[in-house]
Chains A and B, each alone.
Chain A
Amino acid sequence: MKGSIIILFFFVLGLLSGIYQLLPEHLLKNDYSLYALYLLMFLVGIGIGSNKKSLQIIKKINFKILLVPLSVITGTYIGVSIFSLIQNHLSLIDSLAIGSGFGYYSLSSVLISEVTNDTLGVIALLSNITREIITLLFTPLFARYFGKLAPISSGGATAMDTTLPVITKYIGSDYAIISVFSGIVLTVLVPFLIALIL
């Protein structure tokens, strides 16, 4: 939660600097964000590769545990596909790309705005932050009425870190490994799925 507030703070700071033109114009015209994105992707990769939990978890992979991230992807895509049918602002492709963030708002928003346009990037940012907030707020409810995998599924990529504490609190620590595993798989897949869709 603290993380998303800091991120929103920087986004709003940028927003205000853009509106009131506080920064020299060449900053706006040159696309520095692409190089920052390249750096970020390399750093994110290091984070994933060095994650001690992910090393331990690879040893525990079995058929059943793989079904969890798979059902998150399938369910998210079913949901956003239905959404794309009932309104005419976001196309199927756009909706699938936004859904492919799985709550990983920082990366998905930047990637999507780089490949398509800033409007879609902003929607990805707000949508995926909302996904994290919904998970933090409604995990007790989800766990109670839709089974122990529901909060993991709702959390998506965030189930490995930001929403993990609240998830394990309500579904028990024996499901923590599944939660972390699903979150890691989805985190790794975010850039690949976005690239595949757009």
Chain B
Amino acid sequence: MIPVLILMTAGIITGWIFHKKTIFLQSISKLTNWAIYLLLFLLGLAVGANEQILNSFHKIGYLSIAITLFAVAGSIFTAWITYHLFFKKKGERNER
């Protein structure tokens, strides 16, 4: 995991140095997309060859959706508190 973090930090510095080179950045953005496609393809490949995962795919699907509902509900709850404590202007009412 540490090489991953070092590489990202190195990338941020590189990006900051070259942030005016539009053509360079456009090709980086394309390359990024293809790296993501390749990685997701490889993840699919590993999953497809793994019978254990395939057999429990419906369970995995339900779990994924359920955990997301909790993640979103929790973050909306704290966002609501933060909004009312720090962002909402006095006298501003909820536009219902």
Residues of A within 8 A of B (CB): 6-7, 10-21, 23, 27-28, 32-33, 36-52, 55, 64, 67-68, 71-72, 74-80, 82-83, 87, 89-90, 95, 98-99, 106-107, 109-111, 113, 115, 118-119, 121-123, 125-128, 130-131, 134-135, 142, 144-150, 152-154, 156, 188, 191-192, 194-195, 198
Contacts and interface: CB of A to CB of B under 8 A. Distances in A.
B79 to A, nearest CB: 3
Contact of B78 (A20, A52, A74, A109): A74
Given A42-B8, A122-B53, A195 B44 contact: no
Interface of B: 1-5, 7-19, 25, 28-29, 31-32, 35-50, 52-54, 56, 59-61, 63-84, 86-88, 94-96
A195 B87 CA distance: 32
Contacts of A82: 70, 74
B62 to A, nearest CB: 9
8 contacts: A27-B45, A47-B32, A71-B79, A75-B75, A76-B75, A121-B43, A122-B43, A126-B65
Contacts of B67: 80, 83, 90, 95, 98-99, 123, 127
Contact of A41 (B11, B60, B70, B72): B11
A50 B16 CA distance: 5
